[in-house]
Chain A
Amino acid sequence: MAESEADVAVIGGGPAGLHAALVLARGGLSVVLLDESDTLGGQYYKRRTDQLTAAFGDFRPRGTELIHRVRAAGVVVRTGTLVWGAEDAGRTLFTSDVRTGALGRITTRATLAATGAYERSLPFPGWTLPGVVTPGFALHLATMDRVPVGQRVVLAGTGPFLLPVACALLEVGARIEALVELNHPYRPSTSAIGGALRQPARLAEAARYLLTLARHGVGVEQGARVLAAHGDTQVTAVDIGQEDGGVRQLETDALCVGFGFRPSTELPRLLGCDTRADPTGTEQLPVVDADGATSVDGLYVAGDCAGIAGVHAAGVRGQLAAHAILRRLAPERAPVRLSGLRRRARALDRFAELADRLYPLPTTADIPDATQVCRCEGVSAGEIREAAATGWNDLHGTKAATRAGMGPCQGRECGHIVAALTGRNESWAECFAARMPIRPLPMAATVEGQDVP
């Protein structure tokens, strides 16, 4: 097993991890930056491959520039490396090389988890059909690969993310058959507008997207939702439930449905840090101070895995966490004035709270019993409800009784729904326990000395 040491390990090469690594390295600490992907950038600063950049240009030049600065500052960058376990308050990290499966162990003096988020999916009849995808998948195909997810596309769910996805689809020549938003965010109340006006850049961004959509004749249908997807070997039609109770059916090649994002908190939870329910009441977030310090001494979290707040907040939170780690490990260095960063962090957090109010989640109570919830193990909502109703099954008992959450994705897609369907206590979000390995790795990799094909 390959052993290495660093003052600080930063897990996740997205906006939070990149900004943090830069501050830490410039502060004179040895930093290793780990990411499972083969390039840095995370989901937001994701970059086209060299061949496609040469032809189509750089999709996120600001991310490319940030990555150059991180490398120039002397950060040890290890892409294609997944962290599948940790112990000793995160000072020992277990890694695996994505390509070879080779195991590694990294010893640190402090660790920053900047592991980002997943898209939140909510199950409905037909959501497992090929051609039903997350909006993020459609965005990736359009921006990275220049491929439309379909010639005719239906977009649905809730959240501001649907807008840039729709625009990216138009740019690669797809037709938007419908853009269906569950809530009514685009005629907000006066109080909501007051909050948004304090973030004029974000407001302008949303306005640009809406303008582009309008120019292409795409309207946002508010207060409507996807009820079901139909098809034989792939999706061919979608039922949309309208606000007046009517249902209309649309033919489509692809359906993108998403309900915002969920923090990826396995690593801090594995290390036993204190948690609290997130604003949606469906996730457990690490409890952190203003600098991202958790209850586990030496473990910090930043970016969306500390609570969904977007790219700009991730960058600011990454810097604040890095400064806190510097104060801890190199206190002899002159203190840096952080009041500007802190003010910006608070303003961005308030904006995220506004988004939570504008885009509330639907109830899980009306998911039909026949709907598959756990995609991997094919477990339906009815089976989960039945297991939970036996009187002794809590979330973990339900998992054992039904196998929900036990498949290859390890509950990453369905965990929050299984928790909601089994939940007894609405004030506390339960979730599946984080266990090693927290990322899938080849079985052979866990056997010391064994070759992985």
Chain B
Amino acid sequence: MSPNSLPETVTVTIDGTPGEAWAGQSVTAVLVAAGIWPLRRNPVNGQLRGPFCGMGVCLECEVTINGRPGSRSCTAHVAEGMDIRTHTEPLPTAAHG
């Protein structure tokens, strides 16, 4: 089947910055398309991590979606007004000690 038209777009906010995505895309797809690869820090060693398996198994793609932490971005789909927060800030020192 050939494309009928481009999909409708929705506005989502990534770490406070608004941008456009196709309605129905996965949240990881929107992040990757925006060039945002690191999504969080590993809580044990502080290394940056990004989506890996894409099927809900590795849990490396967890972000906060609409205030709900620990959301798997690979199995979530964008909707109008969605607020997406990554967690790539440095870990607090206490986490290492």
State whether B44 touches A377 (Cβ < 8 A): yes
**A97: CB under 8 A from chain B?**
no
In the bound complex, how far is the Cα of B55 from the Cα of A140, in angstroms? 9
Q: How far is the CB of B61 from chain A (nearest CB, A)?
A: 9
With A145-B29, A233-B38 in contact, is A51–B53 under 8 Å at CB?
A: no
Q: Which A residues have a C-beta under 8 Å from some C-beta of B? A: 36-38, 43, 48-52, 54-58, 118-119, 128-134, 136-138, 140-141, 144-147, 149, 233-234, 375-378, 407-409, 412-413, 440, 453
Query: What residues of chain B lie closer than 8 Å to A134, measured between beta carbons?
Result: 52-54
B93 within 8 Å of A (CB atoms): no
Q: Given A145-B29, A377-B44, A413-B57, are A55 and B4 also a contact pair (CB < 8 Å)?
A: yes
Question: What distance in Å separates the Cβ of B84 from its nearest Cβ neighbour in chain A?
Answer: 15
A-B contact pairs, 6 of them (CB 8 A): A57-B3, A118-B53, A140-B55, A234-B50, A375-B42, A409-B59
Chain B residues with Cβ below 8 Å from A136 are 53-55
Contacts A52-B23, A375-B58, A412-B57 supplied; 18 other A-B pairs, CB < 8 Å:
A37-B56, A48-B24, A51-B7, A54-B7, A55-B3, A55-B6, A55-B7, A57-B3, A118-B55, A131-B50, A141-B32, A144-B29, A149-B32, A375-B42, A375-B52, A377-B44, A378-B44, A440-B59
Knowing A48-B24, A55-B3 are in contact, say whether A133-B55 is a contact too (CB < 8 A). no
Counting chain A CB atoms within 10 Å of each CB, the highest count among B3, B4, B55 belongs to B55
Q: Could you tell me the distance in whole angstroms from the C-beta of B68 to the nearest C-beta in chain A? A: 7
User: In residues 1-51 of chain B, which contact A (Cβ within 8 Å)?
Assistant: 1-8, 22-26, 28-29, 32-33, 37-39, 42, 44-45, 47-51
Name which of A130, A133, A146, A234 has the most chain B CB atoms within 10 A of its CB. Answer: A130
